[in-house]
Amino acid sequence: MGRFQVRRFESPEAFRARAQDWLLEREAEHNLILGVVEQLVSDDHDYLAPVYLATIEEAGSVVGCAFRTPPHKLCITRMPEPAAAALVKDVGEVFDVVPAVIGSEPAASAVARAWSALRGGEFHAAMGMRIHALERVVHPDPPPPGRFRLAHTGDLGVLEDWHLGFERDTHIPLVSDPDRIRRRVESGGLGVWEDGGLRSMAAAVSPTRGTIRIGGVYTPPASRGRGYGSAVTAALSQLSLDRGHRLCVLYTDLANPTSNKIYRALGYEPVCDVVDLEIRTPGAPGSPS
């Protein structure tokens, strides 16, 4: 038996029982996988089968985790680089194609390199991201005109268009199914800034034991440059803390210094960096072209 063992779990409950304590040691860093597991446990998702959940273990202790919720990418936590070969061998028993690997370096490159060696092809960095966390909001001073409020069902037409605009502008997939947007609105998870009409939006998603992720911050082009995005982010972050979450977490694109500066000004502090490595496997169905 090799130094590292990969334990694959068929049920999210079993995975959570094994991995949760290790993941909670760095809860902000692991907010994505913790939130996804809660979605799987509650069956509140539209992921495709098969879902992949695994721990990477050494001498009986968890040293890393990996998951994939098709059609999305393979995501990994930090882990020892030499564990990449064992992980990729197990992932290859489930998937013929992995479109990308998301995780912190150097583990992410080690996994992408091992996958390319297994299946052929190459990989490259598609995006660098930074995870931030906030425990106290610094509100914009002065704030822009208007006010924050939670979205309601009368906003759905605008919000559906804005979700598509977010995807178009950022190339990051967002929940854009009208029924799921409606459910998010009805659950109080989507905030808007209003100033003679809707100006900006932000969502609070994927709660974990102590965190919630702020994402989908979008201001349509005609309303940009007036502080609406900062204001709606600050207000929704404050509401999330007031609701009992210990930390708010968000991801930024490292190639966008403006957004990184804006969120730092609101009180978000860097946690760690992650990289999105796109994998091209020649001739594989579904591989990026």
The three state secondary structure string of 196-238 is: CCEEEEEEEECCCCCEEEEEEEECCHHHCCCCHHHHHHHHHHH
pLDDT above 80: residue 284:
no
Rounded CA separation 38/125 (Å): 29
pLDDT of residue 288: 41
pLDDT of residue 180: 85
Rounded CA separation 141/164 (Å): 31
pLDDT of residue 242: 98
Strand partners, 218: 201
Could you tell me the pLDDT band of residue 146, with boundaries at 50, 70 and 90? very high
pLDDT of residue 4: 97
pLDDT above 90: residue 150:
yes
Rounded CA separation 33/22 (Å): 12
The model carries a pTM of 0.91
Strand partners, 251: 131
Q: Is 283 exposed, middle or buried, given 0-12, 13-18 or 19+ CB atoms closer than 10 A? A: exposed
Q: Which helix (H) or strand (E) holds 266?
A: none
Mean pLDDT computed over 243-256 = 95
Mean pLDDT of the chain: 94
Rounded CA separation 63/149 (Å): 42
pLDDT above 80: residue 192:
yes
Rounded CA separation 110/113 (Å): 5
* Structure-model confidence comparison of residues 136 and 259, the more confident one: 136
- Neighbouring C-beta atoms of residue 179, cutoff 10 Å: 9
Q: Is 126 exposed, middle or buried, given 0-12, 13-18 or 19+ CB atoms closer than 10 A? A: middle
Mean pLDDT computed over 37-49 = 92
pLDDT of residue 286: 46
Rounded CA separation 10/58 (Å): 20
Rounded CA separation 58/189 (Å): 39
Mean pLDDT computed over 77-105 = 96
pLDDT above 80: residue 56:
yes
Lowest mean pLDDT of 7-11, 85-89, 115-119, 178-182, name the range: 178-182
User: Is the CB of residue 19 less than 8 Å from the CB of residue 25?
Assistant: no
pLDDT of residue 109: 97
> Which residue, 127, 135, 88, is CA-closest to 107?
88
pLDDT above 80: residue 189:
yes
pLDDT of residue 287: 44
Could you tell me the pLDDT band of residue 46, with boundaries at 50, 70 and 90? confident
